[in-house]
């Protein structure tokens, strides 16, 4: 299934009119379960967007080129020779080709230098964005693949808004999800990252453990049930924040609170989510030192849950601009010389 969106006047206006409307780059966000694509003009504005393509898990090992060419066929036919930049799990062992992780500290320069070229593609310029790896404490290694592009997109947007000075490109970024990532950036380079299995732990406990048996999703049109779920989320967050080291015990509370009618079935998934999110946020704030206000990158509902958990911890988070991935792809393409720099900017 391919959905084509042609951008309208409501989208961000081109910053340089003479660059506008002429495509210069195709960007791909090719993750485990989905493929999206953008057609960019020279100002980084998306002229068109495709969604609903097959994720990496749905493509056979030798089928990536065919899947890409089928998905982007109209663009490739209308604009032959455009360079292509792809980010996400397409660069993993299970993807088109493995793009070795760039080592932290990693900024635009390191990412651009780490692009993998698929030169065998009939003369087409197609590059894969590497993931980023960072050493944790005690020698452990943490990794991301795809999220680095979102972080650079948020950074590019922020630098436009605030300062083009690299020294001010510091930030703490939170990317909630199946494997949520906390990313610390200093002077425009990713210096540290930390992954939590929060989303996946929630999902497997919800679906496969005894905790899920008493759980029900609150109906979207039942305001009372929604409010009850929000209250249960808060209650869970407070417990997780206060005692992250008790998490395996707190999880059993999901059962006992239900057993003694202190938690309704429609509150159970939210309470469980709150416990896990609270435990994650408690640890991540210790890890990050509470020095920088976190920027939340993700879909609205997830970002709102994390913003709430942060608020209960006394921390104000801010939301990243929408479509960080598209902005990040274009910013990396610029850094790698695949797309032109803006006429009057020192942006690296």
Q: Which positions lie near its own copies, rule CB under 8 A?
A: 140-143, 179, 194-198, 200-201, 204-205, 207-211, 244-249, 251-253, 256-257, 259-260, 276, 279-280, 282-283, 286
Q: Are 164 and 347 in contact (CB under 8 A)?
A: yes
Structure letter (DSSP) for residue 59:
S
Helix, coil or strand: residue 192: strand
- Smallest separation (angstroms) from its own copies to the CB of 104: 14
Given the complex with its own copies, which of 51 and 243 has the nearer CB atom?
Answer: 243
- Smallest separation (angstroms) from its own copies to the CB of 262: 8
- Smallest separation (angstroms) from its own copies to the CB of 76: 33
Positive or negative, the Cα torsion across 262, 315, 150, 97?
negative
Given the complex with its own copies, which of 165 and 200 has the nearer CB atom?
Answer: 200
Given the complex with its own copies, which of 5 and 256 has the nearer CB atom?
Answer: 256
- Smallest separation (angstroms) from its own copies to the CB of 223: 28
**Encoded tokens for 291:** 């020095």
Given the complex with its own copies, which of 4 and 197 has the nearer CB atom?
Answer: 197
> What is the DSSP track for 257-308?
HHHTTSS-GGGHHHHHHHHHHHHHHHHHHHHHTT-SPEEE-S-HHHHHHHHH
**Encoded tokens for 66:** 């065919």
Paired with 23 in beta bridges are 41
Positive or negative, the Cα torsion across 153, 154, 160, 163?
negative
- Smallest separation (angstroms) from its own copies to the CB of 44: 33
Q: Are 143 and 131 in contact (CB under 8 A)?
A: yes
Given the complex with its own copies, which of 260 and 291 has the nearer CB atom?
Answer: 260
């Amino acid at each position: 299934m391919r959905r084509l969106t042609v951008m309208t006047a409501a989208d961000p206006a081109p910053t340089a009119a003479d660059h506008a409307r002429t495509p210069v780059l195709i960007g791909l966000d090719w993750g485990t379960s989905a493929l999206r694509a953008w057609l960019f003009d020279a100002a980084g504005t998306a002229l068109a967007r495709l969604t609903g393509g097959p994720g990496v898990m749905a493509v056979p090992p030798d089928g990536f080129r065919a899947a890409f060419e089928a998905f982007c066929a109209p663009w490739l036919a209308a604009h032959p020779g455009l360079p292509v930049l792809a980010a996400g799990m397409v660069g993993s062992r299970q993807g088109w080709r493995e793009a070795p992780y760039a080592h932290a500290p990693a900024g635009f320069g390191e990412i651009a230098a780490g692009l993998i070229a698929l030169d065998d593609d009939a003369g087409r310029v197609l590059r894969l964005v590497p993931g980023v790896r960072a050493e944790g404490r005690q020698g452990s290694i943490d990794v991301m693949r795809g999220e680095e592009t979102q972080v650079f997109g948020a950074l590019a947007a922020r630098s436009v808004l605030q300062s083009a000075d690299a020294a001010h490109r510091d930030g703490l970024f939170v990317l909630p999800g199946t494997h949520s990532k906390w990313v610390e950036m200093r002077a425009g380079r990713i210096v540290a990252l930390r992954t939590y299995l929060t989303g996946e732990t929630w999902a497997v406990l919800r679906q496969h453990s005894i905790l899920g048996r008493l759980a029900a999703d609150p109906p979207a049109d039942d305001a009372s049930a929604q409010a009850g779920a929000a209250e249960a989320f808060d209650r869970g967050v407070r417990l997780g924040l206060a005692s992250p080291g008790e998490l395996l015990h707190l999880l059993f509370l999901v059962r006992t609170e239900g057993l003694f009618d202190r938690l309704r079935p429609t509150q159970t998934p939210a309470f469980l989510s709150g416990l896990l999110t609270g435990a994650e946020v408690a640890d991540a704030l210790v890890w990050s030192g509470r020095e920088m206000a976190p920027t939340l990158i993700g879909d609205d509902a997830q970002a709102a849950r994390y913003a709430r958990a942060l608020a209960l911890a006394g921390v104000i988070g801010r939301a990243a601009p929408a479509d960080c991935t598209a902005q990040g792809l274009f910013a990396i393409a610029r850094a790698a010389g695949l797309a032109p720099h803006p006429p009057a900017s020192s942006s690296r």
